[in-house]
Amino acid sequence: MAIHRRRPQPVPAALEAHCHPVLARVYSARGVSSPGELDYGLAHLLPDERLQGIDSAAALLAEALERRKHILVVGDFDADGATGCALAVSGLRLLGAERVDYLVPNRFEFGYGLTPEIVEVAAARAPDLLITVDNGTSSLAGVDAANAHGMAVIVTDHHLAGEELPRAAALVNPNQPGDPFPSKCLAGVGVMFYLLIALRRTLRAREWFERKAVPMPRLANLLDLVAVGTLADVVPLDRNNRILVSQGLARIRAGRCRPGIEALLRVAGRDPARTTASDVGFALAPRLNAAGRLEDMSLGIECLLAPTPALARERAARLDALNRERRDIEKTMREQAMSHLEGLSLADAGAMPLGLCLFDERWHPGVVGILAARIKDRYHRPVIAFASDGEHALRGSVRSVPGVHARDVLDAVAAARPGLLTRFGGHAMAAGLSLERSRFDAFSRAFDTEVRRHVTETALRGRTLSDGELRPEEMDLDLAHRIRNGGPWGQGFPEPCFDGEFEVRQSRVVGGQHVKLVLSPAGSGRRVDAIAFNAEPSFPSTPGRLRIAYRLGVNFYQGLESPELLVEAWETLG
């Protein structure tokens, strides 16, 4: 993977005066022009009134609370959907809803969204009002089925809309046509949080809390869920999302999060008091997602709703066991995928289709998304991994690269070849689809053809963007802490990455696949510890000089802290 330095940007004087020089340079490269943009107080959140349809949705909910109607939340089977579902249930109960429950489709039985089949399951519970979380914008038939049953539907979602919108009683989605909300990056859990804010505003105007003789609840106490779902869904961290995430992480670190989140962090070996965005992405989210991938996301939602620490620990342990099982399945599938590529003489990346489709009858439908991501990361091209969806159908998960919008590519294929796809939907970097088995080869060719219209040589080669070089004396604990606390970092606002030339003094394999290193910056006698995760066997096995791209992290070991370089990429030097 090639290492490229970001183009230097002028650093505003006010930013330079406010921050460490390295952080000032980093923030400037990410478009921050003033210290005020780094103020993540809740007062700076975009106003809820700007979301199209939110006042109608809030009015329907307020009426449902006043008339003690039965509300059923229909979630999704990923971490965004799970946190959004738990948020909806918890928030509505805080606001005074007396009859609220949830339903989450099983991915293997019902598939994604508010399908007519899941509506039939919902109808057996006789709700008056359905609220979707992280789904529903593409559920035209499902919303119609709910209407036919006499159930009003409020859709809350963030997925891109198709040509036709569902006939819901209200639709809240910043990505629906004509929506004026300035941020299009809210995750599903973020949209639901905004609806709760609007509902509280509506109830306050109706003097609901005075009539109930209860204090108006602090919805900010739910931001731990919003932070987890936003980070897990890898949506871009624009300023609005950084406010939501920063506030949620602060509550987790302060010990003011729900028992389920604390239990998930601890079972993953993370200290809640030190939680960062990467801890959520690499430790907490996979354990939540394991429930939806292998069994039923209700397990994850119940963990998030656990009322006591003891019950939360019990449920988190179950999720941790599922995640270990998921890792074993993924390892086997990855080996099978590589064998498949070699069998097709495609192990040379230059011989591969630019849009790569893979299918194996043995693959687990809940894990193909992770497999597609692993192959994408290795070969730097959009990948779809398919699993069986019955005798005559396949279900696939897409993972894409910058510059190739996954859902738009599927939309173009569907428009050019009507009937080729059964259904599809998703985001720029990830999407899902279904098709008939007999059309796999035809779709594979059509997908590759469409990807070739968008992919660039840069994307195919893969690259790591660096924020430049650090002086040896800057590779210290002080700067590592400043960076750690200077986020939240994530998609669209990446954690700083630096590069430089190093002498490899020591290297050894740990954990079977990671490489532990002792490095010296070129021309310096200083030594610094480093680790390259999942780098075995490709990392050079003999000492030498390398150009290394790295993040500056803090290593916590036996109560001691030390700076550590987290290796992202490397190039061998002569």
pLDDT digits (tens, 9 = 90+) for 229-247: 999 998 999 999 999 999 9
pLDDT given at position 438: 95
Q: Dump pLDDT digits (tens) for 34-74.
A: 999 999 999 999 999 999 999 999 999 999 999 999 999 99
Asked whether residue 145 is domain-assigned, the answer is yes
- Domain termination site, one of 416, 441, 461: 461
pLDDT given at position 429: 85
Given its phi and psi angles, is residue 178 left (phi above 0), alpha (psi -120 to 50 degrees) or beta?
left
Q: How far is CA 206 from CA 58, 63, 74, 117, 429, in A?
A: 12, 10, 27, 37, 42
pLDDT given at position 388: 94
Q: Dump pLDDT digits (tens) for 107-160.
A: 777 777 899 999 999 999 999 999 999 999 989 999 999 999 999 999 999 998
pTM of the model: 0.91
Asked whether residue 361 is domain-assigned, the answer is yes
pLDDT category of residue 457 using cuts at 50, 70 and 90: low
Burial class (CB in 10 A: 0-12, 13-18, 19+), 41: exposed
Asked whether residue 17 is domain-assigned, the answer is no
- In 96-222, alpha helices (H): 116-123, 140-148, 188-205, 208-212
Residue type, 83: T
101-115, 162-176, 312-326: segment of lowest average pLDDT: 101-115
pLDDT given at position 345: 59
Look at residue 161 and tell me whether its pLDDT is greater than 60: yes
User: Over the chain, what is the mean pLDDT?
Assistant: 92
Q: Dump pLDDT digits (tens) for 399-443.
A: 998 889 998 999 999 999 999 999 888 778 888 999 999 999 999
The CATH number of residue 484's host domain is: 2.40.50.460
Residue type, 498: F
Asked whether residue 187 is domain-assigned, the answer is yes
- Contact (Cβ atoms closer than 8 angstroms) between residue 157 and residue 191: yes
pLDDT given at position 459: 63
- Domain termination site, one of 407, 428, 461: 461
pLDDT given at position 489: 96
Nearest to 291 by CA among 71, 83, 72: 83
- What strand order describes the sheet that includes 71-74? 100-103, 71-74, 129-133, 152-156, 170-172
The CATH number of residue 416's host domain is: 3.10.310.30
pLDDT given at position 542: 74
Pairing outcome for strands 430-436 and 423-426: antiparallel
Instruction: Give the alpha-carbon dihedral of 327, 332, 334, 337, to 10 degrees.
Output: -150
432, 308: one domain = no
What tokens appear for 88 in the block?
């909806």
pLDDT category of residue 183 using cuts at 50, 70 and 90: very high
456, 472: one domain = no
Q: Which DSSP category does 53 fall into?
A: T
Asked whether residue 327 is domain-assigned, the answer is no
- As a whole number of angstroms, the distance between CA 136 and CA 156 comes to 7
- As a whole number of angstroms, the distance between CA 381 and CA 459 comes to 7
pLDDT given at position 390: 85
**Domain extent for 251:** 44-318
- As a whole number of angstroms, the distance between CA 566 and CA 497 comes to 9
Look at residue 187 and tell me whether its pLDDT is greater than 80: yes
pLDDT given at position 314: 97
- Domain termination site, one of 437, 461, 485: 461
Domain count, the chain: 3
What tokens appear for 242 in the block?
């950084």
- As a whole number of angstroms, the distance between CA 288 and CA 320 comes to 9
The CATH number of residue 114's host domain is: 3.90.1640.30
- As a whole number of angstroms, the distance between CA 237 and CA 250 comes to 16
Asked whether residue 421 is domain-assigned, the answer is yes
